[in-house]
């Protein structure tokens, strides 16, 4: 019993420090710790994963009754902080004399401060906030950093090492929906019982970190494509993406989308390439394929019915693009699912 208590105390370390600013109760589900905040300060929770030596993850999902400051430096010192705001807005501030920097929905940010420099996030009351923070310890993690999926892994490691030598550093990054897609798959997961599901769940956090690092590197080195669109126009791009996701079966066309949402064809294409890294047509095709996979897994519709349900008219074309993406025909895919 004593050993169990010690183990739980170690697991609680990541959230116990938060309890000073966000009061509540800490529970454990497998290797995940959850701080359910007190009704006296609001609603929501913070999830914590100790993914790897030198790599910790926090998911905040909160709506507070009062403004709150959370000291980041006390949670993990001597680390780089990778932020991603999935919903709402929050601000980051170093010393109290510094001007807070606001981070908006779908925006990334990177921060670092040495011991002795306060680093905090500011959360406003009555606003729903969903934010992911990945803490990376340079000493423990970057010595082993070798991501083969990034062609410039060594350059990234050198860049992050240089930043971590500075007393304090903050970079308000650009927008990314690729990261949002990964995090949305994780936010609603309370607990994965199956071992393979747990591994998949943790694997997505590594994907999020890789995308954060890659985007950060590209922005710092001016290799990331920038957009000339205003924030209001980028918000329309997000709205269009959500519209296509919810109703992929509609006959979406660039002209009709432009008329409906008040964007020119050039801005529509630019926005999709910037936010989704795809053309509009690629995006629509991908959404339809993903819905087709969902229907194959969850219904008894035949292939022709599925083709119609996702907004396509040609079965042969559907089978062609399906096989190109999933490396098997729709029928073979269904057989594999059943087996």
Number of domains making up the chain? 2
In a domain, 225, yes or no: no
Q: Which of 220, 245, 271 is the last residue of a domain?
A: 220
Residues 112 and 147 in one domain: yes
Assess whether 274 and 213 both reside in one domain: no
pTM, two decimals, is 0.69
Q: Structure tokens of 184? A: 């949305």
Residue 11 lies in a domain: yes
SS3 48: strand
* Gap between the Cα atoms of 214 and 218, Å rounded: 6
Estimate to the nearest angstrom the gap between the alpha carbon of 289 and the chain centroid.
Answer: 22
Q: Bridge-partner residues for 198, per DSSP?
A: none
pLDDT tens track of the chain, all 339 residues?
A: 344 443 444 444 567 777 778 889 988 877 788 899 999 999 999 999 888 777 889 999 999 999 999 988 767 667 889 999 999 999 999 877 678 999 998 899 998 887 667 888 999 999 999 999 998 876 666 555 555 444 556 677 777 777 767 778 888 888 888 888 888 877 655 545 555 566 667 888 988 988 898 888 888 876 555 566 777 888 888 889 989 999 999 999 999 999 999 999 999 998 888 888 889 999 999 999 999 999 998 999 999 999 999 999 899 999 999 999 999 999 999 988 877
Report how far residue 131's alpha carbon sits from residue 64's, in angstroms, rounded to the nearest whole number.
Answer: 14
**Count of all residues that appear for the chain in the document:** 339
What is the domain extent for residue 210? 2-220
Note whether residue 327 is domain-resident.
yes
- Could you tell me if residue 226 is inside a domain? no
For residues 182 and 246, membership in a common domain is answered with no
């Amino acid at each position: 019993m004593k050993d169990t208590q010690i183990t739980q105390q170690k697991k609680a370390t990541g959230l116990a420090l938060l309890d000073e600013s966000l009061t509540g109760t800490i529970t454990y589900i497998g290797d995940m710790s959850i701080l359910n905040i007190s009704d006296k300060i609001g609603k929501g929770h913070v999830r914590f994963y100790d993914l790897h030596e030198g790599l910790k993850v926090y998911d905040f999902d909160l709506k507070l009754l009062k403004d709150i400051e959370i000291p980041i430096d006390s949670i993990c010192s001597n680390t780089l902080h990778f932020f991603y705001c999935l919903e709402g807005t929050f601000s980051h501030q170093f010393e109290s004399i510094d001007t807070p920097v606001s981070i908006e929905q779908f925006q990334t940010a990177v921060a670092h401060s040495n011991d002795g420099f306060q680093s905090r996030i500011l959360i406003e009351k009555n606003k729903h906030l969903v934010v992911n923070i990945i803490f990376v310890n340079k000493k423990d993690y970057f010595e082993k950093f070798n991501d083969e999926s990034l062609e410039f892994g060594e350059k990234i490691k050198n860049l992050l090492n240089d930043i971590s030598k500075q007393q304090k550093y903050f970079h308000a990054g650009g927008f990314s929906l690729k990261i949002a897609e990964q995090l949305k798959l994780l936010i609603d997961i309370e607990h994965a019982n199956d071992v393979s599901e747990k591994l998949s769940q943790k694997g997505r956090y590594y994907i999020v970190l890789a995308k954060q690092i890659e985007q950060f590197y590209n922005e710092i080195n001016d290799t990331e494509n920038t957009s000339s669109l205003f924030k209001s126009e980028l918000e329309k791009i997000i709205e269009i993406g959500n519209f296509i996701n919810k109703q992929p079966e509609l006959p979406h066309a660039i002209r009709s989308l432009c008329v409906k949402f008040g964007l020119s064809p050039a801005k529509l294409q630019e926005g999709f390439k910037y936010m989704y890294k795809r053309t509009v047509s690629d995006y629509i095709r991908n959404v339809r394929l993903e819905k087709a996979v969902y229907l194959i897994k969850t219904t008894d519709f035949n292939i022709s019915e599925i083709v119609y349900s996702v907004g396509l008219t040609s079965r042969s074309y559907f089978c062609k693009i399906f096989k190109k993406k999933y490396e098997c025909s729709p029928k073979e895919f269904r057989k594999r699912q059943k087996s």
